Each structure stands twice: as C-alpha cells, then as structure tokens.
Chains A and B, each alone.
Chain A
Amino acid sequence: EDQVTQSPEALRLQEGESSSLNCSYTVSGLRGLFWYRQDPGKGPEFLFTLYSAGEEKEKERLKATLTKKESFLHITAPKPEDSATYLCAVQADGSARQLTFGSGTQLTVLP
C-alpha cells in the first residue's frame, strides 16, 4: 500500500526565515510526486510534479527536490502570503493515475 508521511505537521516562520518541508513516501514504483498548496476554504492548487530522483523544480520562493525515499519543499525568504497547507502526493506506476496524499504541513509565516 502506498504511504505518504509529511513533517512537520505545522511550522511557524518569521518573514524571511528559510526552511524546508519533508515528504517521505513508500510506493511500489514511483510514476510521479506532486506538491500542492491549499488555502483555507479552497481546493488544492497544483505546484510541481517530480518524476525521478535528483530532479528539482522552482517557482518563485519555492524549490522542490526528490530522492528515492523523500521529497523536500524548500521555502526561501518566505512572505506572509506563503502561509498555507502544503500537500504532497504520490502516483504509482501501474496505477490509473490516482494520487495518494499525505496529511500536509500547515505553514504560517509571521510578518
């Protein structure tokens, strides 16, 4: 059974204080690892897809990296508007492209 574990559950940062969120996964074969952002009262918003170990993707202050066992979402010099829950999900080889999600990391960036 595919499993995704995210840590920490919650993270509070001062504006400008860089940090990383972790996503550990267990999957029979990885087709893709996905990062989403979810604001309160809204659906998840797609951020990145990573397909193979060593791959990196960047968007503004966010950078996602992937190893064979985990992914990191690095947040550089965050701003209050980066406050949200960040969800990680895996898609397994041979699956019909279903996503298995972790429980998310709730990030709060204080001004």
Chain B
Amino acid sequence: EAGVAQSPRYKIIEKRQSVAFWCNPISGHATLYWYQQILGQGPKLLIQFQNNGVVDDSQLPKDRFSAERLKGVDSTLKIQPAKLEDSAVYLCASSHGSEQYFGPGTRLTVT
C-alpha cells in the first residue's frame, strides 16, 4: 500500500514570497490533516479535512495560510506572504480510523 506522498521535499523562499505544498493521502482515507512541526517540537495541527470539507481550521493563521482539498483526495497548503517564523516542516497525514499516517514532510526555509 502506497503511503502519504508530499512534494516538494524542500523549499527555500524569501520572506513575503508565496509557497504551496501538495499532499496525496493513502487511497481510501477520507480524513486529511496538515501539521506544522518547528524544530525541536511536536507537530501542531493546522487544518483537518473530512472528504473535501473542513472539520477544524482553528489553528490555521488565515491571514496568510490557506488550504483546499478538491474532490476529496489531494490537498494543497499555501502560504502568502511567508514570514521568517514560518520556517518549519509541513507534514500531511491521513486516516481511515483513529491512527494517522504521515508523509515525509516538506522542509520550508524562509530567509
């Protein structure tokens, strides 16, 4: 069974630029999550989708972050404009039941 796919794996941008991350969940998983993981910390949930609807985006900085999940499969997370403090690993996870399965993440560096 293929795992969660994410791209790109690495991205370096300057502050105030925009960036987008892509995620393809495990086939058949209706629930998709985006997490932010700052170095030395555990992942922090940004947004949760059930099929193509948003379940929870309470911790998403909506002035600069946006996410969508068209057709209930792939998802994109966008940051515009980026700040220095957005430097982190962005993890996508999917689930069918309680256990969440994570992708390899995208390491974002904002200079």
User: Could you tell me which A residues sit within 8 Å of B by CB distance?
Assistant: 4, 31-32, 34, 36, 41-46, 49, 87, 89, 91, 96-104
Closest to A9 in B: B40
Docked pose: A91 CA to B93 CA in angstroms: 15
| A99 contact set on B, CB distance < 8 A | 43, 45, 100
A contact patch SS = strand
Interface string of B28-62 (1 = CB under 8 A from A): 00010100000011111100101000011000000
A104, B42: Cβ atoms closer than 8 Å: yes
A46, B104: Cβ atoms closer than 8 Å: no
Across the A-B interface, give the 5 residue pairs with the lowest CB-CB distance, nearest first: A101-B42, A43-B102, A96-B55, A44-B102, A43-B105
B99, A46: Cβ atoms closer than 8 Å: yes
- Taking the closest CB of chain B, its distance from the CB of A63, in whole angstroms, is 18
Known: A43-B103, A43-B105. A97 touches B95 (CB 8 A): yes
- Taking the closest CB of chain B, its distance from the CB of A16, in whole angstroms, is 28
A32, B98: Cβ atoms closer than 8 Å: yes
Closest to A97 in B: B98
